[in-house]
């Protein structure tokens, strides 16, 4: 078990270094004139949004930990989970969009809990991360959402097909190689299907809905104060940006949905904003998101060192 823990830490460190390389590459290769953000107002807005984005990332760790607690039946302390979450969040910049989820199993190695429980908690988070923003997209966009879904229905069908194929293949492989452990976990999770647990799951889902409310509110600040998005179109604008995030999220291989979000935004919002403004807004949000991720990582790492020292001196 100690060897496995060291193995996860080593792999996690290597992937984190690779993630930083891609973060630096992303910042350097951004097609943006940084001097336009040097004046007081834009700099203050961006700095404030970076801090809010960092807080949102910290908040995002809460529902995931709740899922781990529900599935494992263990009391998982946030001081154990938060550093793992913030570190893995940075791994989304590594092409493939998988390392940020695989890396979370370090929590299982650290706390000696089931890797299956942690992996299933991550799967539940992915599902909630896709469904929860649709609540706000529907409220903000209304019937315009139907048109966007029709435009990108191939993306959804592709991901749905791949997801079903992977699940079916995984099921048969696990049944073939790990029939008995699979039966035990099936029985374990089946026993969790009671009213009390289901209410907890609904409560966790509502945390994801709340998270996207925070995110949409943060998105509105630069849209209103820096890019003069018309108030009458603000709902459509924010709903489209959330939808573009979903499309970027489900597009295989695009680190952070790079290039995908801009296309969705231009398609829907070009009737009331020029393309240059839309592209500049998208770049601004990438700057906020990237620096928020980096700041969350360093704060998570710092808190980990503080909590580790407190534990050693206790």
Q: Report the alpha-carbon distance of residue 236 to residue 192 in Å, rounded.
A: 40
pLDDT for residue 173 is more than 90: no
Distance of CA 74 to the CA centre of its chain: 24
Q: Which residue has the higher pLDDT, 197 or 49?
A: 49
What value does the mean pLDDT take over residues 280-301?
91
Among the residue ranges 101-110, 168-177, 278-287, the one predicted with the least confidence is 168-177
**Which residue, among 289, 227, 287, has the nearest Cα to 60 in the 3D structure?**
289
pLDDT for residue 255 is more than 60: no
Contact criterion met (CB below 8 Å) for 229 and 219? no
Task: Quote the pLDDT of residue 160.
Answer: 64
pLDDT for residue 101 is more than 90: no
Summarised one tens digit per residue, pLDDT across range 205-218 is: 999 999 999 999 99
pLDDT band for position 156 (50/70/90)? low
Q: What is the DSSP code (8-state) at residue 152?
A: T
What value does the mean pLDDT take over residues 245-267?
68
Among the residue ranges 153-157, 294-298, 308-312, the one predicted with the least confidence is 153-157
Q: Report the alpha-carbon distance of residue 249 to residue 234 in Å, rounded.
A: 23
DSSP track, 169-235: HHHHHHHHH-HHHHHHHHHHHHTT-SHHHHHHHHHHHHHHHHHHHHHHHHHHHHHHHTS---GGGHH
Which residues lie closer than 8 Å to 145 by C-beta, 6 or more apart?
A: 137, 138, 239, 243
Summarised one tens digit per residue, pLDDT across range 31-74 is: 666 666 767 788 999 999 999 999 999 999 999 999 999 988 88
What value does the mean pLDDT take over residues 239-257?
71
User: For the chain, how many helices (H) and strands (E)?
Assistant: 13, 0
| Residue 310 burial (CB count, 10 A) | 10
Task: Quote the pLDDT of residue 56.
Answer: 97
Residue spans of the domains in the chain: they are: 2-19+44-313
| Residue 193 burial (CB count, 10 A) | 9
**Which residue, among 122, 132, 123, 22, has the nearest Cα to 81 in the 3D structure?**
122
């Amino acid at each position: 078990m100690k060897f496995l823990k060291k193995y996860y830490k080593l792999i996690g460190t290597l992937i984190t270094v690779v993630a930083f390389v891609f973060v630096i590459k992303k910042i350097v290769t951004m097609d943006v004139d940084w001097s336009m953000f040097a004046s007081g107002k834009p700099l203050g807005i961006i700095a404030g949004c970076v801090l809010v984005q960092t807080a949102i990332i910290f908040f995002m760790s809460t529902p995931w930990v709740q899922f781990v607690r529900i599935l494992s039946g263990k009391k998982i302390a946030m001081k154990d989970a938060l550093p793992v979450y913030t570190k893995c969040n940075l791994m989304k910049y590594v092409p493939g969009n998988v390392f940020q989820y695989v890396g979370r199993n370090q929590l299982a190695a650290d706390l000696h809990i089931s890797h299956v429980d942690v992996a299933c908690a991550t799967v539940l988070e992915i599902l909630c991360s896709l469904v929860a923003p649709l609540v706000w997209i529907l409220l903000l966009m209304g019937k315009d959402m139907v048109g966007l879904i029709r435009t990108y229905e191939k993306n959804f069908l592709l991901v749905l097909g791949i997801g079903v194929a992977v699940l079916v293949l995984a099921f048969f492989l696990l049944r073939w190689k790990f029939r008995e452990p699979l039966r035990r976990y099936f029985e374990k999770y089946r026993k969790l299907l009671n009213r009390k647990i289901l209410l907890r799951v609904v409560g966790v889902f509502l945390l994801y809905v709340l998270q996207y409310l925070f995110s949409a509110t943060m998105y509105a600040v630069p849209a209103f104060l820096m890019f003069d998005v018309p108030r009458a179109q603000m709902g459509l604008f924010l709903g489209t940006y959330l939808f573009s995030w979903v499309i970027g999220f489900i597009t295989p291989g695009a680190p952070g949905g790079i290039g995908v979000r801009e296309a969705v935004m231009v398609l829907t919002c070009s009737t009331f904003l020029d393309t240059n403004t839309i592209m500049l807004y998208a770049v601004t949000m990438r700057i906020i998101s990237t620096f928020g991720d980096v700041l969350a990582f360093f704060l998570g790492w710092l808190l980990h060192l503080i909590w580790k020292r407190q534990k050693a001196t206790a």
